[in-house]
Amino acid sequence: MIQLITILKRKPGLTHQEFLDHWRNQHGPLIKRLSCANYVRRYEQHASVWPAEGSSDPEPAYDGVTIQWFDSADSFNQHLTEPDQAEMWEDVHRFLDVDNLHWTICEPPVVVIDGPTQ
């Protein structure tokens, strides 16, 4: 298994809450129904922890992270060739700052800590 990890920043002009609403209620269900999802074994949405309203704490630089699991690099590449990728990218442009998308494809993790250390 490999993972596609993408760091997401919302499109300028959107609030973090507007980003979350679109990501969770529109983009996630869209991804699930597209044929390119046939290659995805798991799709995770991880929202950044945002400071409480009125807090002086700084906002995170990014709004969230997606992790998509694939059987192999070949499976990932096959998913990119599906015709409905265009529909997915059309939606991406609605709510993400595509110039600030950062991604990497990772091999299975090396687990350093997996529970209490003492």
Q: What is the CATH number of the domain that holds 33?
A: 3.30.70.100
How far apart (Å, rounded) are the C-alpha atoms in residues 3 and 6? 10
The pTM assigned to this predicted structure is 0.89
Establish if 114 belongs to a structural domain.
no
What's the longest Cα–Cα distance across the chain?
51
- Per the domain annotation, does 82 fall within a domain? yes
How many structural domains compose the chain? 1
Q: Which domain, by its residues, includes 41?
A: 2-106
Q: Which residues pair with 44 in a beta bridge?
A: 67
Residue 111 lies in a domain: no
State the Cα–Cα distance between residues 6 and 66, nearest whole angstrom: 5
**In a domain? residue 113:** no
Which pLDDT value is given to residue 52?
85
Is position 117 within any domain? no
Q: Is residue 115 part of a domain?
A: no
Helix (H) / strand (E) element for 46: namely strand 40-47
Residue 118 falls inside a structural domain: no
Question: For residues 73 and 58, what is the distance between their CA atoms, to the nearest angstrom?
Answer: 37
Averaged pLDDT in 10-residue chunks for the chain of 118 residues? 97 96 96 91 95 88 96 93 92 96 93 87
User: Is 116 within a domain?
Assistant: no
Asked if 23 and 91 count as a contact pair (C-beta separation under 8 A), the reply is no
Q: What is the pLDDT of residue 36?
A: 86
